[in-house]
Chain A
Amino acid sequence: MAEPRSNDSLIAALGAELVPVRRLLPPWLRTVGWLALVAAFALLLLAHYGDAPMLRRWAGAPDLAWAALGAVLTAVAAAWAAFTLAVPGRSRAWAWLPLPPALLWIGASGLGCLRTWLAPGTSIATLHQSADCLVFIVGFSIPLSALMVWLLRRACPLRPLLTALLVGLASAAASASLLEICHAFDAAATDLLTHALAVGIVVAANAAMGGRLLAPK
């Protein structure tokens, strides 16, 4: 058992080791920093594909635009929640923040499947094309998750698993938002299932690996 005297000597030792530290930036600012990488990817994709096909799809089928808005907001909310939860003393309730936009994302995507007509400039994805969507979402999620885990390790995530789940959701939602720029397929059950599978893979991979990477030392 450690003696109280030993508490005093530890405090003196820690005092002797003290150096000034740069305070962690507020969570919202760190979220903006992470979103800058998402924005950079978006600009590259827009430079390559242009925004016209995306805007035409949205004008023709507003449910696609709502789904895209839901995905973007889910990414922002999940990232903000992850950065906030990585600061000790912040309420666990932050983990619920991405729920409303995620419901919009899932709801609008699901409603799109009920449409009986095709959105302009789209077709129904074949199984092979759906697989490309999966690779796109998983592929973009890797650098986005890696950056967020790296940023979060500078904080102190006392709930590593919950934080890692939010990292996965933020990365997958951001990747699904980026996919919207070049996604020439209409909402359909197969496509929706592929997207759900991709998001599930990213969230599960983050929970499995990120939880360990974020665990307090």
Chain B
Amino acid sequence: MTADGSLVLDGGLAPSPDCRAAVPAEPASASEQAERQRAAWMAAAQAGDRRAYERVLADSVALIRAVARRQGVATDALDDVVQETLLTVHRVRHTYDPARSYDAWLAAIASRRAIDALRSHGRRERRELHDEFALDRHPGRDDASADAERRQQARRLREAIAQLPPGQREAVEQLGLREQSLAEAAAHTGRKAGALKVNLHRALKALRGRLHGED
């Protein structure tokens, strides 16, 4: 058992900064130093340091992309995984323990989000295949039925938007439907532009899930 009460099962991960500080004989490599820096930034972010937080998130993008690529995520979907991971990091940032590896913590979250992306991509592909098959069987679809389908889709979208939490619904209505700028929407709703943008991200994710059954 280690001093922090954990077993050595996690021995494969990077040692704690304290341990490394106690062994000055071998100079830390550039990547180790960079990781130590990220750990320190995240610890500061947990205390509310915005600059440190933005730095650690910006520094995390390359690592998230590398993890997603390793999992087999296509290049055009990498930024989706990056953004989903950043949103999750924001929500669970209290679970990071600065005595442990930041990169291992981040990679675990990124890996999970990459798997989610692969699964949802697989589901979408199956559905599209199915739709094509349906189209082949009904090649003479008239305009009336296409209209009815569009109306049905619009109704489903309206219902899904209505079910969103108030903050997210507001963001979709102001930014998505009324096409207001962030500044206009912020002035209109009295919310910060940043909060509106995060709410829009979350709303779009929830809508994708509801309309395509991705959750």
Contacts and interface: CB of A to CB of B under 8 A. Distances in A.
Contact of A3 (B9, B58, B79, B108): B79
Contacts, number: 133
A10 B83 contact: yes
A15 B76 contact: no
B198 A87 contact: no
A23 B94 contact: yes
Contacts of A216: 88, 112
A16 B194 contact: yes
B83 A18 contact: no
Contact of A17 (B58, B94, B198): B198
B120 to A, nearest CB: 14
A93 B11 CA distance: 11
A2 interface: yes
B209 to A, nearest CB: 10
A14 B108 contact: no
Contacts of B94: 21-24
Given A6-B79, A27-B6, A17 B194 contact: yes
A27 B57 CA distance: 25
A22 B201 CA distance: 25
Interface string A1-44: 11110111111111111111111101111000000000000000
What secondary structure prevails in chain B residues at the interface with A?
helix
Interface in B90-138: 90-97, 100-101, 104-109, 112
Contacts of A10: 83, 86-87, 197-198, 201
B10 interface: yes
A107 B195 CA distance: 57
A93 B8 CA distance: 10
Nearest to B61: A7
B157 interface: no
A15 B46 contact: no
B46 A89 contact: no
A15 to B, nearest CB: 4
Interface in B1-40: 4-7, 9-10, 12-13
B112 A158 contact: yes
B95 A87 contact: yes
Nearest to A16: B194
Given A27-B6, A155-B95, A15 B57 contact: yes
Contact of B97 (A2, A17, A26, A158): A26
Contact of A156 (B4, B9, B92, B195): B92
B48 interface: yes
Given A2-B79, A13-B197, A21 B46 contact: yes
A84 B4 CA distance: 13
Interface of A: 1-4, 6-24, 26-29, 84, 86-91, 93-94, 97, 155-156, 158, 216-217
23 contacts: A2-B80, A7-B83, A10-B86, A11-B86, A13-B195, A14-B87, A14-B194, A15-B57, A17-B194, A18-B48, A21-B93, A23-B96, A23-B97, A24-B94, A24-B95, A24-B97, A26-B4, A27-B6, A91-B10, A91-B13, A155-B95, A156-B88, A158-B108
